[in-house]
Structure 1
C-alpha cells in the first residue's frame, strides 16, 4: 500500500469536500457490499485494478486504512465501518434528490389577483379558494371588489388574473363563461312600514323610496331589476346608490328605502329577522354571473389552476346545479 500522507487528514473541511471525488464513496459502498474487490469490479463493470486504485485513493483522502485485506481475508477497520455508515446516509440523501426536485417542480406557487363584482357570493369560488389553499399553501391572493365594468377593465388590461361579474356588454378580446345564475328580490329593513307584512302585492311598492346598485339601470348590468321597476311602474325615488352589496344592504337595514339584493345572499338576514322579503315572490329578476378571462394574459401555474377549475365547473355541471334558488 502507498504511504498515507497524514497531512491529508488535517485538511480544512471546505477544502476536503471540494477535493473529494464522490464517486469513490459509491465505489466503497459496492466493495463493502460485495466483500471483494473482484466482485465489486464485476458489479461496476470496471477492471479490478481500477477498483483497487479507487480504494487506495479513498484511504489516502482519509489518511487511514479502511479495509484489512489480504489472501482470503477481507474485513472493515473501525474507520471503514464508520465511513460505511456515513456513506449509506449520503447515498440515501442523494437518492432523495430526484424526489425532492420533482416535488418542488410539482408544488404550485404564485400570486392570484381576483376581480369581483361586490355581490359575487358563490360556493364555486369559496370552495376553490379553500381547496387551493390547503393543497398549495404557497399560493398568495389579492381579491378586490369593483363595479362589473371595472372588473372587465382589470381583466382586459391583465392586472387581474380573472374576473367574476355581471355582463352588460361583451368585449371581443375577453372570454366569457356562464358561471352561475342568481335571483334578485326586494327587501326592507326592520324600521320600514312594510316590515313583517305578508301577502303583499307589487303595487304596495309603488312610490316608495328605494336604494339601488349603481348598475340598476335599463342600460347596465342589472337591467332585469330595472325592467321589473318599469314593468310594474313602481315610480320609486332612489335615495341611495352604491356599487357595493354591503353598502346597499346597509342602507336597506337602516331604513333608507327598499332595495334589491341577491336572494341567496339576503336569506340569512331574512332568517335572523334583519331583512323582510317583499314582492314579487314568483318569477323574480334573473341575473347571470360570468367568469371573465383574457386569453392574451400569460398565466402563472396558480392562476391557470384556478381558472381551469372554474372552467371545468362550467363545462361539467349543468346550469341547474349552478343556479341559486329564488326562495
Structure 2
C-alpha cells in the first residue's frame, strides 16, 4: 500500500524538473543545458534549485570553475535514467507482435573486441527486428566495467582484471596476443626470431598493458623477457596502437586474429612469441539491476545461448593448432 506522504510527493512533483536535471548533468553546465533546452540560463538554474528544495538535498556542487554531482545527485541521475527508459518502453509493452520489437541496445566495448559472435548477432538482430537500433561505444575495459556498473550500458564486452560482486561475468571468447612491427622497422621481414631479439627496441602498447591491469598476461611476458625498454606510444584504442606500430614507432603486442589481414597485406610483421603466446579472455558483463527492454533481452539471451552451446575451442581466436 502506498504511503500517503509518498503519494503526495509524487503527485506534487514537477516531472519536468527531473528532465531538466538530467540535461544539466549530461551537458555538465547550466549554460549548455539552457541552450539545449532552448530556455534562459536563470530559468534552468531556478529549476535545479526548486528540485533541490523539493528533495531537501544538494544535487550538484556549483562554484566558479567547478561542477560536480553529489552522491545524492548521482543516485537521482541513475534513477532518472531508469525512469526515462521505462517510460520510453511503454509503447513497446503494448505491442504484442514480435515483428514490431523496437528500442535501442547500448553496448560498451573494449576497442579490440573483434569476434564473429557479436558481428553475426548484430546482422541477425537487424534482419529479424529492423526497428531495433544500436548505440555502440568503445572505451578502456575499466570504463566499460564502470558503465555497466552504473547501468549506462545494456551490457559490456571487455577484458577483466578483477571481478566485482555486483556484476555477472560470462567468458565470451579467448584471444591470443603476439608482438608486431611495421615495414620500416629493422625486424620487419626477419624469420626465426626469438624473444631475445626483441630486447632493446622501443615499445608501443595499450594503456592496460600493466601487471595490475587487464592486459596482465602481456605485461608478464614483457617482464619475463626483461623488455622494460622505452615506451614511445600508448593508447586505449586498438586502431591507434596499430597505427603507431605500422608507422615504425616501435614494436607492440596485438591480438593475432585481428592482425591476420594486415600481415598478409605486408602492413605488419609478426614477431615472437610464435609458440605459447599470451592468452587473454574477453567477458560479457551484465548488471542484474539493469532493466532491459525487449530488444536488449533478446540480444543478451541470444549471446548467452552462444556461450552455452559453443565449446570454448570454437570461441577462441585463432583456433589453437
Would you call these one fold, judging by a TM-score over 0.5? yes
CA RMSD of aligned residues (A): 1.4
Stretches of 4+ aligned residues off by more than 3 angstroms: 101-106
Q: How many residues align?
A: 227
Contact 1:115-1:160 within 8 A present in 2 as well: yes
Residue equivalent to 1:264: 257
Secondary structure, counterpart of 1:221 in structure 2: coil
Q: Which residue among 229, 235, 243 is the counterpart of 1:242?
A: 235
* Normalised TM-score (structure 1): 0.68
Residue equivalent to 1:316: 309
Residue equivalent to 1:227: 220
1:168 maps onto 2:173 in alignment? no
Within 1, Cα distance between the matches of 2:263 and 2:256? Answer: 10
1:181 maps onto 2:197 in alignment? no
How far did residue 169 of structure 1 move?
Answer: 1.1
Deviation digits for residues 79-99 of structure 1, max 9, x if unmatched? xxxxxxxxxxxxxxxxxxxxx
Residue equivalent to 1:216: 209
Deviation digits for residues 167-192 of structure 1, max 9, x if unmatched? 00111110000000000010000000
* Normalised TM-score (structure 2): 0.69
How far did residue 103 of structure 1 move?
Answer: 6.2
The 5-angstrom pairing of residues 149-164 of structure 1 reads 149-164=142-157
The 5-angstrom pairing of residues 1-327 of structure 1 reads 104=97, 106-325=99-318
Contact 1:203-1:234 within 8 A present in 2 as well: no
Contact 2:211-2:219 within 8 A present in 1 as well: yes
Structure showing greater Rg: 1
How far did residue 108 of structure 1 move?
Answer: 1.3
